[in-house]
Structure 1
Amino acid sequence: MVDAPALSVEGLTVKFADRGGDLTAVSSLDFELARGETLALVGESGCGKSLTALALLGLVNPPGRLEGRAIRLDGRDILGLRGEAMRRLRGNRIAMIFQEPMTALNPVLSIGAQIVEAIREHERISRPAARERAVALLDRVRIPDPRRRFDDYPHRLSGGMRQRVMIAIALACSPSVLVADEPTTALDVTIQAQILELIDELKRETGAAVLLITHDLGVVAEHADRVLVMYGGCKVEERATADLLRTPLHPYTRGLIAARPRLGVDNGFRARLTEIPGMVPSLREMPRGCRFAPRCPLAIDACRIAAPPLIPVGAGGSVACLRIEESRVSEFASGGAGAS
């Protein structure tokens, strides 16, 4: 018998009530995440990545609401859970590393007290035992001298150390799913690499599934098993990382990869980068049909009439485009092919 995925999302839709009617921020999103796997969620700002993460943890507040068929965590549908039932899972079976630890951590509590709180919220354990586990967690995420650092406040730590504390809190109850929302924002490149390697190492040790939200395709190439590309709240392409970066099929994916600066190409960094024309549409002005059509060099009338279906490609991949073959040689291709 094949084990159920750690996370299975079916038809996730996030809507916000508005005076002119509902605004759909995430539309009919489907994906699965296996234990020990990293799925990267990529796309421009405003495409729905972070909102998807918040929806998984039940953190979308009114006027927002969730719809869909199911969000299955370890086989249990949690889509309709509210209040205390959701709080018992959040930080326990599914946990999140937020973008900015200085705003996510409580400035008036020591880092050790915050880890202890996360442990005792979900487990019946004495305070001294929770303290010892918190010290062990700080050591596990490579905080120097963890027993002394236990009583430090967030403002006394560097950005990289604060992010390690966030990871320790997220791992405190050994979650099945770890959501990492831009976990290296505002960190220098050396610390970024250390944090991402730490997440990979802990994933291997615990078997947790990781949903990695990022803008950095270099990070995707190094750390993700699969990639899900979002645009305008919709999935436009999902494939194995190596396949997607080698031969992207959706025009939007090709545009993202072509826009990467590449050292030693086109006279170093001095040449103008390839860009995707136009801007991400607002929720109030979402186009009919394919949401990328107004910016797509390959769009035809059929693209503007109805949303394209997800077409299966390769082993477990899919792409939502009526013109896959034409996309292979689009105007983005010269800058995008062969990226890694």
Structure 2
Amino acid sequence: MKDTILEIFFAPMLRAGLALFFIFFFLLPVYAVAEDQPPPAPAQKPKNKHVSFEYELDPYYSNVGLLINLTDKPIPDAGEAPELEVYKQLLFSSFIPRAVILEAAIFPMPDLGVAIRDKAPEFYSESEVINNFNLVKAITAGFEEPYALSLFAGNVMSFTRPDEKKKHGNFGYMGYLISVSDYHIKSNRLIEDKSVELEWKIKGDRKFSTHTLHWSFRIGEKLHSNRDIKDVIYIALRRSLLDFAAPSGSLSSILENSGFEYIYDMDNKNFKPVRHYFTVDKKWPYSKKRMGFSLALGFIWEGAQKYTGALADIDGRNNFQVVLRPNIQF
């Protein structure tokens, strides 16, 4: 069954992802230039945009996506609705998918960690500042793939303000996601592994001039073609808020300019814990430039059963990894 799922989804999504990268990096710039030219005659603004390109740039997670609206109605706009109201609207919206998103994502910092260990092994070794604490590994840990291609089907809502230009990726999502990748990262080394991830998720990215809010709840299953990597069921929670309006130094600024992420992986056969990932972060907003600096601290715990065979640790013990993640958020 697992091999069938891998065969069905892997190759088609890989080809679709390569096509998406070609469109974004070669055809989209030409289209954008053409859009900037003045139209020959006034034209009525379309009521519904069926297809749009969205992208996000981040040192740890960058992506480009093709959003396709499957209906004749515009994507609903939640505007400045309270956070709990957004959750409610997404959860109780129709469970029949009204939009699909094809996304190609790359994880720059984890990829940098792989490159450093492979191309600069001496520097990587010297980064072990104390016993069992490698600075490069701590900064680049957390992502188990170098890149991923995904297909989302579900419901989408946008977030806009009347007096602000809409930013890319300013959406809320609720639906189903299929992701594929052909490599796995373990201790900053690439391992051949065709994997398929199936999940249900509710996610949002609200980006206004006064604040930037990210949240997500995911539950799913991850299957590996490499027999030495454990297949898992997982639950994941994340929330992050960068608030430019909170008074500097106030209690609200300290509490609101923060975030957390928790991922719990369990064996998909006996439900025993395989991996815990937990981070908390503090943010320092820079209002003049509408950006912020963040520092996340946390840990990754991996049970000895996560890897077997050639990938198993020699001593057969559980693994504990400190996570230290500096970042700049726009």
Instruction: Give the TM-score normalised by structure 1.
Output: 0.23
The structure, 1 or 2, with the larger RCO (C-alpha pairs under 8 Å, 6+ apart) is 1
Give 1 or 2: higher strand fraction.
2
Instruction: Give the TM-score normalised by structure 2.
Output: 0.23
